[in-house]
Amino acid sequence: RESALQKIVLVSYLMKFWLDFDATEPLDEVASKYKLRKKYLRWVNSTLQMCKEQTVSQFRICFDLDKYAQYDIDKWLEFAFSRKVQRLELDLRIEEDYHRDFNNCYAFPARLLGLGDSAYSSSSKPHSDKLQIHPLVQQNFKSLKMLLLKSVNVTGQVLEFFLHNCPFIETMVVHESGTLVNLEVVGPSLNLRHLEIWYCRNVESLKICDTNLVTLGTSSGRVLMLKNVPTLVNVHILCVPYTHLLNDISSHLSCVLSQLEVLTLDACFSLEELEHYNFPILAKLKKFVFITFRCTLRWKGQSLLGCTSIIRAAPQLKEFEIQYTTVSTMDFELLPITIAPLVSCILLLNYCVPQQLVWCGIMNFSCQMTITLSINPLSCNNYAG
């Protein structure tokens, strides 16, 4: 397996100058074994030693690694930055839906940027011309366009360093960082267009102001502050506890609701709870996505009528998507029964009718089923799957 993976990576490297060390597919069943981690480390190290190129456009690590691999990963980052990497991804998660203890996460080496390694150091808009940056990293890091860090402890100071010193960076994604406390994305000079901050449970403030951000996804909605973000049109928000999510929409997203084109709510409550919430007018909303982690349709009296509140508030709505997790195919058998009354209700109340309703049901956490309903005013019983 190791030789096969190495061959794939080397071919990719020769063809596109990408280094993609993704071993999750063939090795996931034994990824937690210590001996396999050592083998993975040797594989990456030996491959990098063979690399003679002066530039690498993409460098991606995707494997279950923690703080005990600190030394090796630090060296990999030095390698990537010294070769003017444009897309850098460290995905060190155990599994996609399994969160590692923050105390065991790999820590991004702030010393490479001359920032020091204090996890909770203050954010003071660090600029590269005033810092003692690692010689291999000096100037080369400025080619960065995308930064994705998952199950990596990184501070707001490090992230802001990249924002203010990498003129081409457009995408920043952070998952499961225990040392991210404060983050400010501020200033019209920033090139950032896409920002995601997920499951960083120690975040105390997330300030986004005077930027040209286009898309935002976060589970830190309760500490979100938005101001003067006229280009923000796509928002995905999840809140913990989930009961506060609707309040977060009103208070923390109020300045952008009128300009949103896509809104995704990630919650744990049923659709019926939406029925009792009066959404403000979403004048430009074209797509609404509702994600829930349990099926709420199998109990008597449950329905999709809660959808009408959001449909009523969005006169330009074209697509309504519902995603939920289930372990039973019986949930899908109920779809014709529950969808038809919803469409009838929409038509009778003269609400704006979405052009399509899309269902994404994930069975056994691995299989996905999509049903698209085309609404016909003359017949509410026609659906296509």
Q: Which whole number is the average pLDDT over 362-367? A: 45
Q: Is the pLDDT of residue 129 over 60?
A: no
206-221 mean pLDDT: 95
**Per-residue pLDDT tens digits for 135-174:** 656 667 889 999 999 999 999 999 999 999 999 999 999 9
Give per-residue pLDDT as tens, 319-358: 877 776 655 555 555 454 445 555 554 544 445 555 565 5
| pLDDT higher than threshold 50 for residue 380 | no
pLDDT confidence of residue 224: 92
Higher pLDDT, 180 or 17: 180
Q: What is the dihedral of CA 213, 321, 89, 39, to 10 degrees?
A: 170
Does 186 score more than 60 pLDDT? yes
Q: How confident is the model at residue 378 (pLDDT cuts 50, 70, 90)?
A: very low
Of 295, 342, 287, nearest in space to 323 by CA: 295
> 54 pLDDT exceeds 70?
yes
CB atoms within 10 A of CB 318: 15
pLDDT tens string 64-107: 899 999 999 999 999 999 889 999 999 999 877 778 899 999 99
What is the rounded distance in angstroms from the CA atom of residue 63 to the CA atom of residue 120?
27
pLDDT-wise least confident of 96-100, 198-202, 214-218, 257-261: 96-100
Outline where the chain has alpha helix (H).
Answer: 2-16, 24-27, 34-50, 70-82, 156-165, 245-252, 307-313, 330-333, 335-348
Question: Tell me: the pLDDT tens digits for 273-329?
Answer: 666 677 888 999 998 888 776 554 444 444 566 677 788 888 888 887 777 665 555
